[in-house]
Structure 1
Amino acid sequence: MLSVRFKGEALSDFISHSFDDHIKFIFPDSDGTPTRRDYTPTGYDKQRGELTLEFALHAQGAATEWARQAKVGMNAIIAGPRGSMVIPQNYDWHLLVGDLSALPAIHRRLQEFAPGTKALSVIEIAHADDIRAFDTRADVEPHWVKSADELLATVRNLALPAGEGYIWAAGETSTMKELRTLLTDEKRHPKDAMRVSAYWKHGAADFHEKLA
């Protein structure tokens, strides 16, 4: 992952109320064609007029190339977020699930939790280098896994804490659909206490879909 900080007067009134927010990052590709991608605002300093986005560095891809070549003076367009879904923190526990695409949102959520908040995370990563120490005051039980199958198995075998909890998950479409079924049919978790989103889909660009 590579963090890129954006600065400009146009960011002076930027607002992001939820870790689940996503903005449209619009940039020119190698041919100069405008390209759109969704990203989570991971940090905003109003006083400095600075916004931070995290880019996953893939082997190839327009956004990866842009991030690798980013330097002071380059222009980009940032649109949104259009709206925020604010999830209360006062649940007895929170479960955050996702792959690398969801890691920025998960990290932001953990940063925002009040001291002592009970949280569990299950995060799929391809490389051990992607494991990070979370900057959080919450009581976090992290689970790092290496595949979608392991992610599903870990959630299936997870002993959820007592009380009312909220589950947030995001990642690849087919994995998230399986996870949604697992949570509703096997875990019997209430649908009004979860949000499952598809952040990306194999073979599709600029993809985002709410599943539950």
Structure 2
Amino acid sequence: MSSLTDARAPQRLRHETRMRLLDVVDVTDVTPLMRRIILTGDLEGFSAPGHADHIKAFFPEPGTEPFIPVIGPNGAEYPDHIKRPEMRDYTPRYFDKPANRLAIDFVLHGDGPASSWAAQAAIGQKLLIGGPRGSLIVPPAFDWYLLAGDETALPALARRIEELPAGARVVAVIEVDNAAEEQRFDTAADLSLTYVHRNGRPAGTTDLILATIRDLTFPPGDGYAYIAGESSMSKSVRAHLTDDRAFTPQYIKAAGYWLLGTPDAHEPH
């Protein structure tokens, strides 16, 4: 494969870091285990142009009101009498600027502060978010694109599928629990989408994504790969692409959104 050219170099954008206290205006179950929360409120200047951008969502203890901290040189700063809330990273599913509505999809996996909050979320509740701090923009200048990940990566994968232009070739492999968790996407791109199902096996304990990618015949030309989800899976797919498929390393982004057995493990984009 050819070396990385300027036309294909990803662009990094920085954004002003702001805390925003938003109101829940809609709650929809996209699938039995994926809940979409629509938020509105202080979204002036909000921008998330990268398909894998992530915001910080803050989850205080149940029954307590969100506290809006000051952003200092070391991040969010809290006074001694305020307990620091749990924080999780989420990719905005979409931002409708004219309607001033931000959509975030939550996996309802039954534990953790974010899933627990989403399971009881109702219109009128509030959610504090911060960011995104920056964006990585991958230009539509490649011959084809490989996308792979589990449920936690679905918002990022879906955005990329939907945002790529007509004529772009996309090969996507997405792991979900069962057929009821499959989503379909409106896209002008030439999409080849494969879902693989755990069928009750715990997330992070299978090699379904890697095994499926090993069996794929890739399109010709230079491809860009975005792999995200459980950290060990992302690393194994990256190794396969570089070691067995002669993928140029600069053409791969492998993100660990979570690590099996480790709460709140996340490798930044």
Q: TM (normalized to structure 2)?
A: 0.74
Q: CA deviation at 1:31?
A: 6.5
Compared CA separation, residues 128 and 29, structure 1 to 2 (3 A): farther
The structure carrying a bigger strand percent of its residues is 2
SS at match of 2:126: coil
- Number of aligned residues: 210
Contact 1:29 1:66 in 2 (8 A): no
Aligned to 1:204: 262
- Report how far residue 153 of structure 1 moved: 0.9
Larger Rg: 2
Residue 20 of structure 1 corresponds to 52
Contact 1:5 1:53 in 2 (8 A): yes
Q: Does 1:81 pair with 2:132?
A: yes
The offset of 1:210, in angstroms, is 5.1
Structure 2 stretches lacking a partner, 5+ long? 1-33, 65-82, 199-205
Which structure would you say has the larger RCO, counting Cα contacts within 8 Å and 6 or more residues apart? 2
Question: Which letter does structure 1 place at the counterpart of 2:37?
Answer: V
Amino acid at match of 1:191: P
Secondary structure, in 3 states, of the residue corresponding to 1:78?
Answer: strand
- Is the counterpart of residue 186 in structure 1 residue 244 in structure 2? yes
Asked whether 1:139 is paired with 2:172, we answer: no
Question: Could you say which residue in structure 1 is the equivalent of 2:209?
Answer: 151
CA gap 1:199/1:66 in 2 versus in 1, 3 angstroms: same
- Residue in 2 that maps onto 1:3: 36
- Indicate conservation of the 8 Å contact 1:110/1:138, yes or no: yes
Deviation at 1:173, TM superposition (A): 1.2
Shift of 1:83: 0.7
- The answer to whether 1:171 aligns with 2:229 is yes
Give the counterpart of 1:120 among 168, 171, 178: 171
- Whole-Å separation in 1 of the counterparts to 2:186 and 2:229: 22
CA distance in 2 between partners of 1:79 and 1:6 (Å)? 13
Task: Structure 1 unaligned segments of length 5 or more: list them.
Answer: none
Query: Contact (CA 8 Å) 2:110, 2:116: kept in 1 or not?
Result: no
The structural deviation recorded for 1:123 is 0.7
1:31-70 C-alpha deviation (Å, 9 max, x unpaired)? 6461111100111111221110000011222211211211
Displacement of 1:30: 2.7
Question: 2:71 matched to which residue of 1?
Answer: none
Paired residue secondary structure (1:76): strand
- Measured against aligned partners, the alpha-carbon deviations of 1:129-165 in whole angstroms (never above 9, x if no partner) come to 1111111111110111124312111111111100111
Structure number with higher helix proportion: 1
Moved over 6 A (4+): none
- TM-score with structure 1 setting the length: 0.94
Which range is displaced more, 81-90 or 141-150?
141-150
Other-structure match for 1:57: 108
